Amino acid sequence: MAVSPTKNGRLTRLDDQVTPAENIEKQRPKATEEQLIYSSILGAGRQMGLAGIIVAFVIYLTGIVEPKIPVSEIPKYWHLPSGQFMDVAGLKQGWAWIGMYHYGDMLNFFGVAALGLVSIVCYLAILPKLLRKKDIAFAVIALAEVAVLLFAASGIVHIGE
């Protein structure tokens, strides 16, 4: 058996019966179970959000579904502060875009929202694993993060009006 030092001096045993490449693979640290769960859900959410944004943008640009604000009109508004833009364009703040799902431009917000919601799903998914491991501190951190993200998404924050 050979021995290989890590950067901080910890020694790692190497098996002489296998090739160096196999040794490296055998000794490669594995991500934790909850990290893998988080990763797979984050990846899926990313795909959904990106797909939603691309599809909605295609619909918006091609004009297949009538937009609330025609694409040619947007440059008339994009120099305005957001609050003024909403007023002029006849839009409402918060989650009002859901009720305007039949407009091509509003469809874009579904993809954007998917990107904004995926982290909440990730945290909720790893919660059972953390509780099963009796990792109470990190379970509390996960729950607190979910609460913070839900608070942000709720639209309750309206400072700067």
Binding mask 115-134 for other proteins (x = CB under 8 A): xx-xx------x--------
CA torsion, points 96, 100, 101, 103, in degrees to nearest 10?
-140
Does the protein bind other proteins through residue 36 (CB under 8 A)?
yes
CA–CA separation, 101 and 113 (whole Å): 13
Residue pair 104/60 in contact (Cβ under 8 Å)? The answer is: yes
CA–CA separation, 159 and 156 (whole Å): 9
Beta partners for residue 13, in sequence order: 3
Does the protein bind other proteins through residue 6 (CB under 8 A)?
yes
In a 13 Å sphere around the CA of 31, the CA atoms on its Cβ side amount to 8
Type of residue found at 64: I
Residue pair 131/35 in contact (Cβ under 8 Å)? The answer is: no
In the complex with other proteins, the residue whose CB is nearer, 54 or 131, is 54
Within 45-84, which residues bind other proteins (CB under 8 A)?
45-46, 49-50, 53-54, 56-58, 60-63, 70-83
Does the protein bind other proteins through residue 28 (CB under 8 A)?
yes
The one among 3, 10, 19, 90 contacting other proteins by CB under 8 A = 10
Shortest Cβ 30–other proteins spacing (Å): 7
Does the protein bind other proteins through residue 91 (CB under 8 A)?
yes
Within 140-159, which residues bind other proteins (CB under 8 A)?
141-142, 144-145, 148-149, 151-153, 155, 157-159
